[in-house]
């Protein structure tokens, strides 16, 4: 079996992928967006002048079903998928204009409370939170040195997966910069990392989204409002936030701020 393509090797091939997909869809390419952690996106125009975005993704299990999620949402609260090329991990997307981040909006939680139920479509066919939690548990056991954080995360990763409620489609990375201002709707969700999971899990990225305010009071306010207004189990939402945040934060530039949030939640558990 060939070795997985490294991110650096994939980046080296991006110019060829851009040229191939531009030719495939007859696109005129414009300026690139700031680089993301695992993708490359550029402004594009369709042959009729319609603005779009061409997104290329480095293959990773968390984003392999991105196009499937966008198809299931079909523009309902999320950016529209115009075309896909799975061989090149390429997506042609509706462009959000002006594209301002939700994290810059004073009414961000109101927006998210309105958007989340629209995203909770059927989770059938998507990778499951239960299987993903097994991967996280192995990562946490191997990589997290702080015993308090490790034990707390492992506790929730053992207790929560098998006792979930109804499984729906969730965006497990719905932070303040993955919702953009747009013309078709005031705000549209982008960059899904989809899972089939209970609804309580979907608040985890919002609770830790320090762009909305980084303090114990701010994090607990997000947890309390989201769970109360969406009729979610607060304890389970707290547990999922702790578990995923510890699992995802290793090696992250945001380790310190994310772990602040974990410690505040554990104080409140």
Active site (catalytic) residues: 173
Please give the structure tokens belonging to residue 128.
């499951």
Only one residue has tokens 């702790």, namely 242
Integer angstrom CA distances of residue 14 from 18, 42, 58: 6, 11, 10
CB 255 within 8 A of CB 146: no
Task: Please list, in sequence order, all residues whose beta carbon lies within 8 angstroms of the beta carbon of residue 52, skipping any fewer than 6 positions away.
Answer: 27, 43, 44, 45, 46, 82, 92, 93, 94, 95
């Amino acid at each position: 079996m060939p070795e997985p393509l490294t991110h650096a090797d994939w980046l080296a091939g991006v110019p060829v992928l851009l040229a191939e997909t531009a030719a495939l869809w007859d696109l005129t390419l414009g300026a690139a967006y700031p680089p993301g952690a695992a993708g490359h996106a550029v402004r594009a125009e369709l042959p009729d002048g319609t603005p779009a975005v061409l997104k290329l993704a480095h293959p990773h299990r968390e984003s392999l079903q991105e196009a499937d999620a966008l198809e299931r949402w079909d523009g309902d609260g999320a950016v529209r998928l115009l075309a896909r090329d799975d061989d090149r991990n390429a997506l042609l997307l509706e462009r959000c204009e002006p594209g301002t981040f939700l994290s810059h909006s004073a009414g961000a939680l109101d927006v998210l409370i309105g958007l989340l139920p629209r995203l909770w479509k059927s989770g059938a066919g998507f990778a499951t939170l239960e299987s993903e939690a097994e991967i996280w548990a192995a990562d946490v056991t191997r990589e997290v040195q702080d015993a308090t954080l490790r034990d707390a995360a492992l506790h929730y990763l053992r207790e929560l997966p098998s006792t979930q409620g109804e499984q729906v489609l969730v965006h497990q990375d719905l932070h303040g910069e993955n919702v953009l201002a747009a013309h078709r709707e005031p705000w549209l969700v982008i960059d899904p990392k989809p899972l089939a999971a209970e609804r309580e899990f979907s608040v985890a990225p919002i609770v830790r989204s320090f762009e909305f305010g980084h303090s114990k009071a701010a994090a607990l306010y997000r947890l309390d409002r989201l769970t109360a207004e969406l009729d979610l189990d607060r304890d389970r939402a707290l547990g999922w936030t702790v578990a995923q945040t510890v699992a995802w934060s290793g090696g992250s530039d945001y380790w310190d701020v994310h772990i602040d949030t974990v410690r505040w939640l554990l104080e409140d558990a």
